[in-house]
Chain A
Amino acid sequence: MATSTYVGGIPPRPAVRGFYGRLRGGDEIAYLTTLVCAIGILLIVALIVFMLWTNSQPTVKTFGWHFLVTSTWDPNNNQFGALPFIYGTCVTSFLALLIAVPLGVAAAIFLAEMAPPKLSNIFTFLIELLAAVPSVIYGLLGIFILVPLIRDYLVPVLRALFGWLPIFQGDFYGVSLLSAGLVLSVMVVPFIISVSREVLLAVPVEQREAALAVGATKWETTWQIVLPNASTGIIGSVFLALARALGETMAVTMVVGNTPKIAASLFAPGYSIAAVIANEFAEASGSLYVSSLIFLGLVLFGLTIIINGIARIMILMTARGSA
């Protein structure tokens, strides 16, 4: 038979908890603390935008929006223009995507559609490790391995085959827009593969089976059925990769040549927004110089927000579509 007496224990009729009791329960404190942190993050982001904007004001007031299309960058004479950097950022990113997207999507197709699951998982794991390699390491490999390789093997070939194109003319000294673009492509490929692979895997198996059942080959199924289904998501992954490429600093600044000039050839050295800030900010003096660099940072920030936003929308659209 059970008895109802316990040793010690909780008093049978606890009084209604007052303020102190509720405080000890921790509910109010926990709620307030977490809310404060959440609001704090909103404030931090607002602060970032605010600081970037106010600290860019000297440049905005002096040059206005012409700053974005001027191509002179001469700190000694207080002449500042963003065009060389915008140009360099765009060219290197575009080149990176040109190489990385076909390669990455092809690899994603292989991993999602063809490879046996175990192999696919191992490879995916390794590729995700690639994404974790720090930028400065890519820069290191870029300077000492990639650039000599490009100089000794790639450039002669390009010159021989396409030397009549303006983008492949001129002298090549190693550091160049081409080198930066290639290093960026290596850095950006893992993202494209990861996201594209997941998007492809999300396409329902029934779609594939429907195609195979009428006699399509594996490739035809993939190319004509799966890929179109996943296309929005894959484009989203491309935008994500682009956002990353735009903001990439170290690897680019180590191989791009750091020359604020616009040249038609990819062999020429160039500059990117992130690279110029990295190189010149620490020693910049004079409020116009500093604020120009900060304004460049704001431009970059704005660009990445827009691109990231587009990417997110596309990936959301894929999720809705296949759900």
Chain B
Amino acid sequence: MATPQQQQALKPPVVAPVEGSEVPKTQVMPKLDAKNLDFYYGSFKALHGITLSICTNKITAFIGPSGCGKSTFLRTMNRMNETVRNSRAEGEILLDGENILAMDVTDVRRRVGMVFQKSNPFPKTIFDNVAYGLRVNGVHKRSVIQETVERSLQHAALWTEVKDKLSKPASALSGGQQQRLCIARALAVQPEVLLLDEPCSALDPIATLKIEELLFQIKDITTIVIVTHNMQQAARLADYTGFFLMGKLIEFDDTRKIFQNPSKKETEDYVTGRFG
């Protein structure tokens, strides 16, 4: 039921299309498993019984209209929601089988990294920004830090642009560069999962393209979960897509199926642009 334009929009720019139209969720061990997750802000129930599995080394996207809970759910995956008072999560989120809600929270955050909607580099040098996560987690050997910083910046497709000005303040970079810096910073601590919360919404199309390209490159070294309000982006990037509406997970499947042959009417209404 997809129009020719939608078919064109579904073509990813670089990598060959993902094979298999069945739900391959059970083929590989899921990296992150949410089981009946409820989330409350005070007495307001923001998430209702979310159950899904994130596959290792794949890109998973969450789409849905504003306020549907996709960002809230993303933030439960590294427990950033806990900074809000009177909030609580019920249910389980398993990272390689361990429930992160029962783990030490700083451990969870080191293993599940996050890149935010608006880039937030620290008021430090470019080098110190990327090295921050390493230092704070106990790595102090200079050679290790230097090598890791370089690798991370390369993964974030920023190395060639900044290699001569690592000691300049991060605030001197452009918006797109700052966001890539934040990605490098997150990558430096070798997260097993990288969460991205609408990372390109404040960027121009060229900067967006750069980030999308690098996400393809790094999906082999980590597992990517991205929240986006841009459906075309989800269609381009993601292996799997989840559609959220009013705090519930309506449908979660292979991206092609979600966009070409969705099972639920709400999903179809959303991806064909009838609302949202």
Contacts and interface: CB of A to CB of B under 8 A. Distances in A.
Contact between chain A and chain B defined by CB under 8 Å? yes
Interface of A: 1-4, 6-10, 12-14, 16-17, 21-22, 25
A2 B155 contact: yes
B220 A7 contact: no
Contact of B104 (A2, A8, A9, A17): A17
A12 B191 CA distance: 8
Interface in B120-175: 134, 137-139, 141, 143-144, 147-148, 151, 155
B190 A2 contact: no
Contact of A12 (B104, B138, B144, B192): B192
B158 to A, nearest CB: 14
Given A14-B110, A16-B103, A17-B106, A6 B148 contact: yes
B104 A16 contact: yes
B190 A9 contact: yes
Interface string B179-211: 000000000011010000000000000000000
Nearest to A1: B220
Given A2-B155, A17-B106, A10 B217 contact: no
A10 B137 CA distance: 8
Contacts of B220: 1-4
B89 interface: no
Interface in B220-239: 220-222
A2 B217 CA distance: 6
Contacts of B217: 1-2
B107 A10 contact: no
B218 interface: yes
The CB with the most chain B CB atoms within 10 A, among A9, A16, A17, is that of: A9
A3 B222 CA distance: 10
Contact of A2 (B103, B107, B110, B221): B221
5 contacts: A1-B220, A3-B220, A4-B190, A14-B107, A14-B110
Contacts, number: 54
Contacts of B151: 6
Contacts of A4: 190, 220-222
A8 to B, nearest CB: 4
Interface in B91-127: 103-104, 106-107, 110-111
Given A1-B220, A2-B155, A9-B148, A17 B107 contact: yes
Nearest to B102: A16
B139 A9 contact: yes
B78 to A, nearest CB: 15
A72 B213 CA distance: 90
Contacts of A14: 107, 110-111
A6 B190 contact: yes
A7 to B, nearest CB: 5
Nearest to A21: B104
Contacts of B222: 4
Nearest to A17: B104
A10 B155 CA distance: 18
B272 to A, nearest CB: 35
Contacts of B192: 12
The CB with the most chain B CB atoms within 10 A, among A3, A7, A21, is that of: A7
